[in-house]
Structure 1
């Protein structure tokens, strides 16, 4: 059961559902359920959500929220992301509480990955 007033689902705009699913399955192990050709929900991501087809994307320069994923092996995650064709936009850096890097997925959407 969802907790009252908690964030429990997020929808992410993408230009290509198939490529997006392949990337997130390969890099992060996410799983998908399709609801037609323009929407796919994802699980095994820490929060439930879905990808929907859109010409719009998100990044910090546009004032978008930053979606931050956790990794127990930061360098290995960065190598896997690069190997899958994503662009590292900020190399690993320290911040209070840990280290992180930013990347743009194959749609140009900006994410971060952090570790202690």
Structure 2
């Protein structure tokens, strides 16, 4: 059996990236020196987007929530930059954001 248990992203500030996810979602952060930080969170699903109009230029990690509005406010309060306001897609609604280290992610809520 194979399971994905780790994903590594580039960051312009590993500490700022870790601090953001801790503040926005309460995830456990472990700094391993000034240039590397681990963030521990439960659950991961992968999707593959073929539509050229929607395909991200880099992997897009999507965080699931039960309250999209509260998640949006938490992202903003933690210093995230919204790159796409909430919108409907098959299966729910989501928004996209960029964390302080420069990575774009999404938060979604099922219908």
Q: TM-score range by the shorter chain?
A: 0.7 to 0.9
Report the TM-score when normalising by structure 1: 0.77
5+ residue gaps, structure 1? 48-58
Distance in 2 between the 1:13 and 1:45 partners?
21
Judging changes above 3 Å, is the alpha-carbon distance between structure 1 residues 43 and 86 closer, same or farther for their aligned structure 2 residues? same
Report the TM-score when normalising by structure 2: 0.80
Distance in 2 between the 1:20 and 1:65 partners?
16
5+ residue gaps, structure 2? 45-54
Q: What's 2:109 paired with?
A: 115
SS for the counterpart of 2:33 is: coil
Q: Which moved more, 1:69-78 or 1:6-15?
A: 6-15
Computed over aligned residues only, the root mean square deviation of the Cα atoms, in angstroms, reads 1.7
Distance in 1 between the 2:37 and 2:16 partners?
12
Moved over 4 A (4+): none
